[in-house]
Structure 1
Amino acid sequence: MIRTIHLIILVVLSCTVLSGCGTNVKEVKQATPVNTASADAEDTSEEKTFDQTTEKLEPITEYENVTEQEDEIIMVMTINDTKVDVIWENNASVAELKELAEDELTISMSMYGGFEQVGPIGKSITRDDKQTTASAGDIVLYSGNQLVVFYGSNSWAYTRLGKINLNEKELKNLLGNGDVTITLSME
């Protein structure tokens, strides 16, 4: 009975030691390659056998199953039926506007003062108003709940949202001929 228990303990210990040895040898071998001349002079037949039976390990990336997107999802502005190129600010107001644009946000704009189009976004969002002179192409937030797009210039306290990449003449043609509809969406 005692011999049987000793034999079982010996088998369990042997399995534990042997299973751990292979892993440690592999890790040590990868961490410390041997490049010295004295090591080359030693018998390396066992080492060659080990190298031939192990597979080359590839680096593991944290996001193996995530497909990389070529382009970042961006907020797009359409004025009536014309999609315009916008450089958006990186601020809390734009982040909240992007959330609203996920379900497509349509804003009925009205001409005001001969230099801007103004329209309600439907709710108040974070604002950081600063006295500024807006110029053609500037997109700003007024009073935390109004989108303003300029085709002229004006000085007031606004939160900057972005800039349309068109010249003043193109903006005047697009925005200066009556009320427009602006749509914000994510693409």
Structure 2
Amino acid sequence: MKKKVFFLLFLLLSTSVLMDGCGSQESSAPSQEAENKKSEWVEEENGEMKMNVNVNGQDFIATLEQNSAVSALVQMMENGPVTLQLSDYAGFEKVGPLGQSLPASNSQTTTQTGDIVLYQGNQIVMFYGSNSWSYTRIGRIDDLTGWEEALGSGDVTVTLSVED
């Protein structure tokens, strides 16, 4: 009789341990999936996030800032590329509606050629000149070769996407 009781206790304890182990694997799966998605954005060893910027068919890479506006933009791009129509403004920038508002953390800043900023929470601005205003920084083009020529003097179509 003692052998049966001992065997049943052993069986119950073993089943409990196995069930607990299975449960913890299931709960860690979504966090692993989220971590894999996050790692798609981290291309550099130093942790910088990169984004493709296609201007009228010409490709550029931008290094992104670390702020809530960028996080929201990244979430948009996870659903697919974001295409924008930008118009020339004042001979130093292209500006266009994003289609939704992002969290803004504006600060007075002087932009440079290649800067990408959020204006009024819902417009993307890309600079080929300099300006001082209150913006939320999104990122900066890494290599400016051909940047001013790509933006040109008229309207442009810009597509933002995950860097491959």
If the length of structure 1 is used for normalisation, what is the TM-score?
0.62
CA contact (8 A) 1:115 1:176 kept: no
Which residue in the other structure is 2:59 paired with? Answer: 83
CA distance in 1, matches of 2:154, 2:8: 82
Partner residue in 1 for 2:45: none
Contact 1:76 1:83 in 2 (8 A): yes
Pairing 1:103-122 to 2, within 5 Å after superposition: 103-122=80-99
Paired position in structure 2 for 1:164: 141
| CA displacement at 1:73 relative to structure 2 | 2.3
2:76 is the counterpart of 1:100? yes
For 1:50-89, list aligned pairs within 5 A.
72-74=39-41, 75-89=51-65
| Residue equivalent to 1:56 | none
Matched, 1:180 2:125: no
Structure 2 distance, partners of 1:171, 1:83, is: 9
Specify the code of the residue in structure 2 equivalent to 1:88. Answer: L
Q: Give, in angstroms, the shift of residue 15 of structure 1.
A: 4.3
Q: What's 2:101 paired with?
A: 124
Larger strand percent: 2
- From 4, 12, 16, give the equivalent of 1:12: 4
**DSSP-derived class of the 2:39 partner:** coil
The CA distance in 2 between the partners of 1:13 and 1:94, in whole Å, is: 61
Q: 1:172: how far off?
A: 1.4
Residue identity matched to 1:185: S
Identity of aligned residues (%): 39
Compared with structure 1, are the counterparts of its residues 86 and 12 closer, same or farther at alpha carbon in structure 2 (3 Å cutoff)? same
Q: Is the 1:79–1:180 contact (alpha carbons within 8 Å) kept by the matching residues of 2?
A: yes
Residue in 1 aligned with 2:20?
none
Measured after TM superposition, the shift of residue 16 of structure 1 is: 6.8
Q: What is the TM-score when the length of structure 2 is the normalising length?
A: 0.70
RMSD over aligned CA atoms reads: 2.9
Would you say how many aligned residue pairs link Structure 1 and Structure 2? Answer: 136
Distance in 2 (alpha carbons) for counterparts of 1:174 and 1:84: 10
Q: Which consecutive residues of structure 1, in runs of 5 or more, have no partner in the other structure?
A: 1-7, 24-60
Q: Which runs of 5+ in 2 are unaligned?
A: 15-24, 42-50
Higher Rg: 1
Cross-structure match for 1:30: none
Equivalents in 2 of 1:137, 1:76: separation in Å? 13
